[in-house]
Amino acid sequence: MKVFSEALVREAQEEEHVADLSRATIGEILLVAQYLEKKTGIPFIRMDQGSPGLPPNQFGVEAEKEALDRGVGSQYPPAAGVPELKAAASRFIKAFVNIDIHPEGCIPTTGSVAGSFASFIACTQRIPGKDKILFIDPGFPIQKSQLRVLGIKWKEFDIYPFRGEALRERLEEELKTGDVAAIVYSNPNNPAWICLEDSELQIIGELATRYDAIVMEDLAYFCMDYRRDLGHPFRPPYVPTVARYTDNYILFLSASKIFSYAGQRIALVCIGDNLFSRTYPALKERYADSGVFGLSFTASILYMITSGCTATTQYAYARMLDLSSDGTIDFVEDTRIYARRAERMKKIFCDNGFHVVYDRDVTREVGDGFFFTLGYGDLSGGELLRELLYYGVSCISLSTTGSLRQGVRGCTSRMKDDLYPILEQRMKAFREDHP
């Protein structure tokens, strides 16, 4: 039996001006779910928005308060970031990735969204003719929305049938046209939670070097592949990264998930040393500056977007990074609850006829973490999204992420203990209504 009638869902859709649920954005699904919850008082199982479900790291909160008390709020922050954060970032990357990036190349941004926005500009303007972005999908829909704003064209392919060595031919097919400025992916992946393995990262790195493309590697879910014993500073195993296989890389390191610091909008764009110092005549001509990639990125592009990143939050992030490198903060253990939630939620769904869509990496089953993917019979992603809304479960269609597979993305962050029995009851009803 449905929790919400089709008429009520249509009403919510019309009231919130959502034209097509099958193609709805995260924000639109959020509005529909909130409308239904407010109208009826019936709680939703909220699997739509990937917002942290844990309290913010208290060390960061205290550091930010201290910075305000010191009077930091009265001064403009330096465009390239406060020295304390840049040094802490360089040390943190060495501790957990075992890669050397000079502090100069560690640049704070108001979240990774601002970082990717500026990076898309810098990457596509550095060499005439290299003006397209290549997405290894599925991926974060916002990034393509950014390209629409910027008027930048992109190419994409779903990685599911091209894992392992098969990735080489498929990737080279796109790169050999010569117009790809940058390659974009997240690892672990949003939405599928697949993880690229070292052999695949090596393929990406080697081809990026050969075809002079910059790899934009989003590490938003840093150390959150809980199948591996990651998160021990200055001790292997280290976080897998393309930075071991090419000099053409930019890493995005966000505080949103690993420190539950999303509300303060703080991230780092970490540009490899060789790329940071490389001079591009096209940038020099356009911006009348030195043309040095890292300097043009910071002073001529990023500063025009955000005018620097909130100073107090930079000190908070610096404290959290430093204490993590010291071993005082165990952010991996702090966030492991997401994996436990995913395991429990996936079992409820799979016991009731659902299946995991992106189910494997190259050598093993996909892990449990912040996100997971679900399919049901021969329902399309859009159809499944709509049907789940009737049963009080909100999610997003995989079609909005560049995926060619049918299904939806679920997020574990908002799940609470008292909701598991409700989810189980609703999914039993779903199965009975969808034999």
pLDDT, average across residues 413-421: 96
Please give the share of the chain, as a percent, with pLDDT higher than 90: 97
Residue 197 binned pLDDT confidence (cut-offs 50, 70, 90):
very high
Residue 301 binned pLDDT confidence (cut-offs 50, 70, 90):
very high
State the DSSP string of 68-137. HHTTGGGSPPPTT--HHHHHHHHHHHHHHT-----GGGEEEESSHHHHHHHHHHHHHHSSTT--EEEEEE
pLDDT, average across residues 25-42: 92
pLDDT confidence of residue 24: 87
pLDDT, average across residues 364-370: 97
The pair of three-digit structure tokens given for residue 157, joined into one six-digit string: 């392919």
Q: Mean pLDDT score of the chain, rounded to an integer?
A: 97
Residue whose tokens read 């938003």 = 220
Q: Are 294 and 104 in contact (CB under 8 A)?
A: yes
pLDDT, average across residues 300-315: 96
The pair of three-digit structure tokens given for residue 202, joined into one six-digit string: 């090596």
Q: Is residue 25 scored above 90 in pLDDT?
A: no
Identify the sign of the CA torsion 358, 363, 364, 367: negative
**Order of strands across the sheet with 180-186?**
106-109, 267-271, 249-254, 214-218, 180-186, 132-137, 153-158
Residue 248 binned pLDDT confidence (cut-offs 50, 70, 90):
very high
Q: What is the largest CA-CA distance in the chain?
A: 66
pTM for the model stands at: 0.96
Domains parsed from the chain with CATH numbers: 6-54+334-433 (3.90.1150.100), 78-326 (3.40.640.10)
pLDDT, average across residues 401-427: 96
In tens, the pLDDT along 95-107 reads: 999 999 999 999 9
pLDDT confidence of residue 19: 87
pLDDT, average across residues 315-338: 98
Task: Collapse the DSSP code of 434 into the 3-class scheme (helix H, G, I; strand E, B; otherwise coil) and give the result.
Answer: coil
Residue 26 binned pLDDT confidence (cut-offs 50, 70, 90):
confident
Residue 5 binned pLDDT confidence (cut-offs 50, 70, 90):
very high
Distance CA 262, CA 413 (A): 13
In terms of C-beta distances under 8 Å and separation of at least 24 residues, what long-range contacts does 326-329 make, across chains too? 326/233, 327/232, 327/233, 328/59, 329/57, 329/59
Residue 56 binned pLDDT confidence (cut-offs 50, 70, 90):
very high
Residue 425 binned pLDDT confidence (cut-offs 50, 70, 90):
very high
pLDDT confidence of residue 83: 98
Q: Is residue 21 scored above 90 in pLDDT?
A: no
In angstroms, the first-to-last Cα distance of the chain is: 13
pLDDT, average across residues 168-196: 98
Q: What angle do CA 415, 382, 354 make, to 5 degrees?
A: 55
Q: Is residue 143 scored above 90 in pLDDT?
A: yes
